[in-house]
């Protein structure tokens, strides 16, 4: 088990210290996003020779802005999903005329003298604790703001400040103090082994922070089973799009997040498997509610897209039953969700401008069946919105203007006297 770190005496963490940590994390993400495409071109590094070396690669990459090295140090399954996110974000920024590189160049983060302590958690899983080191962060806010403003449509930019309230942001200090003062429950980084090489798992690291936080207030939290990383559960797959949805319904009615994880692509969520019992415990605190859900009469069409299958749902009936036995039903049809309270519809002009024909889920082929690919689904949605951004913006303005004029007209009519 990873050693817990006692709370640091002193004042509560200030918003400035939280901002420093957030800025550092944003820097990591920005560097990583820039490096994923290059990582795809130059290929995997094969991983580090030790857990400490994997974390050291991340630190060195941050200091030298070596985005390829940074991406190569992260769990390959997680990197693959983030690559798609980065590509989608890059395409969106490009269409808006922005320059993501300018934002990155506005951030200068130096990390020095980092020391570690390593704990073996299971075969192929280790926890690396940061025990020392310093940071020096400088952000050219004026440059970053100017770069971000390039991505803001002119109609939205009106009335916004022409420059940030201060030209630069600078902070420096001890890394351990930064983590502790920010009140984070852990400064441990989870490192996993793939094909003989060690990689940092972002998902496992974040989940471990949530687990360590829960342990501080609840002694009954079940232990993390780190062996499940090397021995993952059997994938749950559906024969078709409807089968994929019904598998999720089954997991929801079982109130089992670990079962839900088994419905997702193993390479993307493997770092979360050790936390299955913890997730289920948190989801069922106080006992299972007895609530249940159901999905029937799905209308769906499928088509190949970007190496996966796009399933477009255009209709279906959704129900939920509470512990008292009361059932609520909603019907999705013709771009409307109909319930006892009447229909709620996507405005025709907005649906047309966005190219919205139904809810699209991306399915990945696994073991002769299909699983929902959440990252690909998100990327597909962002790409669709980005492709129709200009038309969608005009349609939204037109729709809101017409609604405003109609409300004003009704107000004038109701207020008139004969």
Query: What is residue 15's predicted lDDT score, i.e. its pLDDT?
Result: 46
Q: pLDDT of 52-99, one tens digit each?
A: 999 998 888 877 767 667 778 888 888 765 555 555 544 544 444 444
**Strand partners of residue 52:** none
The pLDDT of 188-196, averaged and rounded, is 91
Name the one residue in this structure whose structure tokens are 């770092």.
271
Q: pLDDT of 159-173, one tens digit each?
A: 677 778 888 889 899
pTM of the model: 0.73
Q: pLDDT of 217-274, one tens digit each?
A: 999 999 999 999 989 899 999 999 999 999 999 999 988 999 999 999 998 899 999 9
Residue 315's H or E segment, with its range, is strand 308-321
With a cut of 70, say whether residue 390 has pLDDT above it.
Answer: yes
Give which of 82, 307, 79, 38 is closest to 194, Cα–Cα: 79
Q: pLDDT of 124-144, one tens digit each?
A: 999 999 999 999 989 888 888
Give which of 244, 261, 219, 253 is closest to 361, Cα–Cα: 244
Name the one residue in this structure whose structure tokens are 């771009």.
335
Query: What is residue 247's predicted lDDT score, i.e. its pLDDT?
Result: 96
Contact yes or no for 358/298 (Cβ under 8 A): no
The pLDDT confidence band at residue 6, using thresholds 50, 70 and 90, is very low
Give which of 165, 164, 181 is closest to 19, Cα–Cα: 181
- The residues, any chain, with a CB within 8 Å of residue 373's CB and separated by 6 or more, are 264, 265, 268, 308, 362, 363, 364
Q: Where are the domains of the chain?
A: 15-228, 232-406
CA distances from 334 to 197, 241, 295, 345, 392 (A): 51, 19, 17, 8, 19
The pLDDT of 388-412, averaged and rounded, is 78
The pLDDT of 394-410, averaged and rounded, is 80
């Amino acid at each position: 088990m990873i050693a817990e770190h006692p709370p640091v005496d002193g004042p509560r963490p200030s918003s400035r210290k939280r901002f420093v940590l957030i800025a550092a994390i944003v820097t990591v993400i920005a560097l990583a996003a820039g490096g994923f495409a290059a990582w795809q071109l130059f290929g995997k590094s094969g991983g580090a020779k030790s857990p400490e070396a994997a974390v050291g690669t991340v630190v060195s990459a941050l200091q030298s802005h070596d985005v390829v090295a940074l991406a190569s140090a992260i769990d390959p399954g997680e990197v693959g999903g983030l690559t798609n996110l980065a590509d989608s974000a890059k395409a969106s920024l490009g269409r808006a005329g922005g320059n993501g590189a300018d934002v990155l160049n506005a951030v200068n983060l130096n990390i020095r003298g980092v020391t570690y302590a390593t704990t073996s958690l299971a075969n192929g899983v280790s926890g690396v604790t940061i025990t020392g080191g310093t940071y020096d962060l400088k952000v050219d806010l004026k440059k970053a703001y100017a770069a971000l403003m390039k991505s803001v449509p002119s109609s939205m930019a009106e009335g916004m400040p022409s420059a940030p309230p201060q030209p630069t942001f600078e902070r420096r200090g001890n890394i351990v103090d930064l983590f502790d003062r920010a009140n984070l429950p852990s400064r441990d980084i989870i490192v996993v082994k793939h094909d003989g090489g060690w990689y940092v798992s972002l998902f496992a690291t974040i989940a471990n922070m949530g687990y360590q936080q829960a342990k501080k207030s609840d002694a009954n939290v079940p232990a993390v089973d780190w062996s499940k990383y090397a021995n993952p559960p059997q994938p749950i797959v559906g024969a078709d799009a409807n089968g994929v949805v019904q598998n999720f319904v089954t997991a929801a009615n079982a109130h089992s997040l670990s079962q839900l994880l088994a419905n997702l692509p193993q390479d993307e969520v493997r770092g979360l498997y050790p936390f299955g019992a913890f997730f289920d415990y948190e989801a069922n605190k106080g006992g299972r509610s007895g609530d249940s859900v159901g999905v029937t009469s799905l209308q769906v069409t499928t088509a190949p897209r970007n190496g996966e299958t796009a399933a477009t749902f255009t209709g279906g009936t959704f129900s939920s039953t509470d512990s008292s036995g009361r059932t609520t039903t909603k019907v999705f049809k013709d771009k409307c969700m109909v319930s006892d309270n009447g229909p709620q519809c996507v405005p025709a002009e907005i649906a047309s401008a966005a190219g919205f024909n139904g809810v699209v889920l991306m399915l990945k082929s696994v073991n002769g069946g299909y699983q929902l690919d959440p990252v690909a689904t998100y990327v597909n949605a962002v790409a669709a919105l980005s492709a129709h951004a200009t038309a969608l913006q005009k349609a939204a303005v037109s729709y809101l203007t017409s609604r405003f004029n109609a409300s004003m007209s009704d107000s004038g009519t109701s207020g008139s006297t004969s």
